[in-house]
Structure 1
Amino acid sequence: LTQEQKIIIDEVTQKYNVASKRISTLSQEKKSLDEKVTLAAQLDVTNIWVEPKNKRDRTAKRIKDIVRLDIGFTLVKNITAKTGEKTVYIRIAKPDNDVLVKNPSDTFEYENRNLNYSIKKYIEYDGEEQQVVVYWNVEEFLYAGNYRVDIFADGVLIGSRNFELK
Structure 2
Amino acid sequence: MKRNGPGRLILLCGLPGSGKTTLSKRLADELPAVRLCPDEWLAGLGIDLHEADARDRLEGLFRQHAYSLLGLGQTVILEFGFWARAERDELRLRARLLGAAVELRYLDVTRDELLRRLEARNGTGAPDAAVITRNMIERWAEDFEAPGREELALFDHWNDPPA
For normalisation by structure 2, the TM-score amounts to 0.24
Q: Choose between structure 1 and 2: higher helix proportion.
A: 2
Larger Rg over CA atoms: 1
Query: Is the strand fraction higher in 1 or 2?
Result: 1
What TM-score do you get using the length of structure 1 for normalisation?
0.24
